[in-house]
Amino acid sequence: MTETILYLHGLNSSPDSLKASQLRRAMTSMGLAGQLRVPALHHHPRQAIVQIESEIAALGRPLLVGSSLGGYYATHLAERHGLKALLINPAVRPHTLFDGYLGPQKNFYSDETWDLTADHVSALAELEVAPPKDPESYQVWLQTADETLDYRQAQAFYRGCALRIQAGGDHGFQGFAQRLPMLFAFAGIAPKLWSDIDFSGL
C-alpha cells in the first residue's frame, strides 16, 4: 500500500502551481500533509533527477504524480524503481520538442531566469525509456485541448495503461481537484479518509 505521494511539477512550474496547491490542501484536510512531498525541481534534468531520487529514498515507495515534464521524469523513475505513477498531460520524448526554443527562460512562479541549452536537451534524451513494462502500475490523465502537448502522443505511448481521456480542458488539466478521489484510491489511501470531503472548493 502506497499512501505516500511524490508530486513532480513541469517545466517552469513550481510547488505553488494550482494542482500542487490543491493536492497539498487535500492531503492536509485528511491529516496526511506529512505524506506528501512536492520538491521545487531544478530546471536541469540531471539535477532534477538527483532531487527526485533523494525524495524517493526518503519516502520508500511513493506514488509518483507527474505533470507535463514531471510526467516524463515520473515514467523514467517508475520504470527504474518499479513504482506506480499517475501522469497528468505527460510529456513524451520532450527532447524532440525544443527546436527553436533554446535560450532564455523564466519560471512562471519564482521569476527565476535561466538558459535552456543543448545540454538540457541531451540530458532529457538520456532519460527516455520504452513504453511501461507494467501498464497496471500507471494511470494517465489526458485532456484533448492541451495547448502545449499533443495528447495523442501520450495516448499512443501509454496505450496499454489505464488512460482517462477527457474532451476539452487545457495543459494545466481542468477539474483536477474533483478527480483527487481517483488519485487517492490509486495511492492506496483508505476511502474513509477522503470519501466525505468536498474537493470542488480546493
pLDDT level of residue 108 (50, 70, 90 thresholds)? confident
In 30-150, where does DSSP find H-type helix?
A: 45-59, 69-81, 118-126
Q: Which three cell numbers stand for residue 8?
A: 513532480
Rounded mean pLDDT, 74-90: 97
| Per-residue pLDDT tens digits for 122-181 | 999 999 999 998 999 999 999 999 999 999 999 999 999 999 999 999 999 999 999 999
pTM of structure: 0.96
Rounded mean pLDDT, 83-94: 97
Query: What are the extents of the domains in the chain?
Result: 5-201
| Per-residue pLDDT tens digits for 30-64 | 999 999 999 999 999 999 999 999 999 999 899 99
**Looking at residue 25, what is its pLDDT?**
95
What would the CATH number be for the domain defined by 5-201?
A: 3.40.50.1820
pLDDT level of residue 101 (50, 70, 90 thresholds)? confident
